[in-house]
Amino acid sequence: MRRSIIGWTAAAVLLVSVGFGALALLMNRSTFHPPAWVGPAAFIRHEGVDRLCLPLRQEETRLVFDYRSSRFPTLRSRAFHHFSVRCHDPVTARPLATHPLAIISDLDGGREAQLRVIGQEREFLWLFLRDEALAIRVTDGRLAASRALLERQFPRLRDRLPAEPRGYGFDAGLVFMTADAEALRLTLADMSLGPYDAPADRSAIGRASQWHGRFRTREFLTRRAVAADRWLGLYTEREAADAAKDAFGDKFRSDAAVLDEGAATRRRWWRAETGRTREFSEGSHPRLTALRPAGDGQAHLAGGLMKRPGRPEALALEGPAGWLLLHRTRIDEEGRLVATRLDGDLAALWSAPLPIAELTNRWELPGRLLLLGEAPAAEGRGRLDAHILSLDLATGGIATWNIAAEAP
Tell whether omega for the bond before 366 is within 30 degrees of 0, i.e. cis.
no
Model pLDDT for residues 385-398, shown as the tens digit of each residue: 999 999 999 999 99
* Tally: H helices and E strands in the chain: 4, 28
Give yes or no for a contact between 103 and 30, defined as CB atoms under 8 angstroms apart.
no
- d(C-alpha 217, C-alpha 189), whole Å: 37
Q: In what order do the strands lie in the sheet with 174-177?
A: 168-170, 174-177, 183-187, 192-195
| pTM recorded for the entire structure | 0.86
Please state the separation of Cα 382 from the chain's center in Å.
19
Q: What is the mean pLDDT of residues 101-122?
A: 94
Give yes or no for a contact between 314 and 304, defined as CB atoms under 8 angstroms apart.
no
Give the confidence band of 72 by pLDDT, cuts at 50, 70, 90.
low
Radius of gyration, alpha carbons of the chain = 28
- d(C-alpha 8, C-alpha 4), whole Å: 6
Q: Which residues contact 132 (CB under 8 A, 6 or more apart)?
A: 146, 147, 161, 163
DSSP state letters, 351-389: EEE-S-SEEEEEEEETTEEEEEEEEE-SSSTT-EEEEEE
Model pLDDT for residues 335-383, shown as the tens digit of each residue: 999 999 999 999 999 999 999 999 999 999 999 999 999 999 877 667 8
DSSP SS3 for 75? strand
pLDDT score at 9: 58
Q: What is the mean pLDDT of residues 179-199?
A: 92
Model pLDDT for residues 229-277, shown as the tens digit of each residue: 789 999 999 999 999 999 999 999 999 999 999 988 999 999 999 999 9
CA dihedral 65, 67, 71, 74 (to 10 degrees): -20
On average, the pLDDT of the chain sits at 88
Q: What is the mean pLDDT of residues 95-118?
A: 94
Of residues 12 and 70, more confidently modeled: 70
Give the confidence band of 18 by pLDDT, cuts at 50, 70, 90.
very low
Give yes or no for a contact between 232 and 271, defined as CB atoms under 8 angstroms apart.
yes
pLDDT score at 16: 47
pLDDT score at 309: 83
- d(C-alpha 118, C-alpha 373), whole Å: 21
- d(C-alpha 117, C-alpha 53), whole Å: 9
Model pLDDT for residues 45-66, shown as the tens digit of each residue: 988 899 999 999 999 998 876 6
Whether pLDDT at 21 is above 50: no
Give yes or no for a contact between 89 and 81, defined as CB atoms under 8 angstroms apart.
no
